[in-house]
Amino acid sequence: MENVLKSRSAKSGLPPGTLVHIGEKSDREIRISILDYNEDGCEERGITALKDSFYYMDSGSVTWIDVQGLHEIEIIKEFSEKGVHPLVLEDIVNTDQRPKLEDFGDYLYVVLKMLRPQEGKHFGVEQISLIIGSYFVISFQEGISSDIFSQVKERIKNGKGRIRSMGADYLAYALIDPVVDNYFTILEDIGERVENLEDMVITNPAPETMRRIQRLKRELILLRKAAWPLREVIAALERRDSQLVSNQVAVYLRDVYDHTIQIIDAVEAYRDMLAGVLDIYLSSLSNRMNEVIKFLTIIGTIFIPLTFIAGVYGMNFQHMPELRWHSGYFACLALMLGIALGMLVYFKRKRWL
């Protein structure tokens, strides 16, 4: 499970706008691809220098520049030549950003959190940054997992749907939509795990169950940390506070906003269910402890009179009349057995057993 907050010690004392990569580093080199398209056609290119993409941004058609990998600072810094604010570039390479939307007039800067299945863990969080202009969209992925936008690229290249006939704002929507939809995949897994924990705490409330509850609780905190501000971002885009978002695209963004509300409702519901599971776990432990204490109390109560009788006849007085009875030993044992059985019958009638 990832930490809720990543270490920022590397940025301590540095001036604003200093680019320092904070986050998980990929072993792969940064990959930059360009999709330049309009209703009539599409051109795809892979480049090594960002300067090669600047021509397409001013071509009049819709240009999508996809950057996978943020650890090579010098490459990211080249975007400053195209008017991208240094603070935006600083936020791009700092992958511990809260989802947000910033309006810089001629472009929008959007930060999203993408949930990704992770080997050995249930899910990880990868930051997605988007710069949305009038005719271009620049996307920044950490490049840790597979390309989540591969299906969008195929739709553009194959001319499927309305994406080729729409502008850059629709492209931004097409990139945001799979990020939001991926939350539901993770939520389904969390829902199954919560249900399994409910069964476990009733049948076998072991210490391992408590560890699973705490692990799932941390995951829900991380999920909530990503989902709540995501709603604000989509709401701001859907309200059309910027002229870069058209009325046509606002309708689609409204649908994404509905999905974010469903995600938040599911997260809150699972948090409540998990709190209930924790209460059941603690109650089960308390009940088991009470059963053990009740059993020991009953055993102790039965042996109190038996111990008393044994103690009386264990005294060494010479003139105790029962000491010389021929059947005294067996009579004493029979009395003790009768008392024990009588107490057991009494406890049974009282339903204490």
**pLDDT class for 15, splitting at 50, 70, 90?**
low
Q: Which of 145, 141, 146 is nearest to 128 (CA)?
A: 141
**pLDDT class for 45, splitting at 50, 70, 90?**
confident
pLDDT in tens, 106-151: 899 999 998 877 765 678 888 899 999 888 999 998 877 667 788 8
| Percent of the chain whose predicted confidence (pLDDT) is above 90 | 22
User: pTM above the 0.85 mark?
Assistant: no
Answer yes or no: are the C-beta atoms of 165 and 134 closer than 8 Å.
no
Backbone angles phi, psi at 350, to 5 degrees: -80, -5
| Percent of the chain whose predicted confidence (pLDDT) is above 70 | 88
pLDDT in tens, 59-93: 678 889 888 888 778 878 887 777 788 888 888 88
Q: Residue 275 pLDDT more than 50?
A: yes
Over the range 270-284, which residues count as b (16 or more CB within 10 Å of their CB) and which as e? bbebbeebbebbeeb
- So where are the chain's domains? 9-283, 294-349
Answer yes or no: are the C-beta atoms of 108 and 101 closer than 8 Å.
yes
Backbone angles phi, psi at 327, to 5 degrees: -110, 20
The enclosing H or E element of 43 equals strand 42-47
How would you class 308 by CB atoms within 10 Å of its CB: exposed for 0-12, middle for 13-18, buried for 19 or more? exposed
pLDDT at residue 1 in the model: 47
**pLDDT class for 269, splitting at 50, 70, 90?**
very high
Q: Residue 19 pLDDT more than 80?
A: no
Q: Which CATH class name applies to 9-283? A: alpha beta
The span from the CA of 43 to the CA of 287, in Å, is 68
* Domain 294-349: which CATH number of 3.40.50.1220, 3.60.21.10, 1.10.730.10, 1.20.58.340: 1.20.58.340
The span from the CA of 343 to the CA of 337, in Å, is 10
pLDDT in tens, 167-195: 899 999 999 999 999 999 889 988 888 88
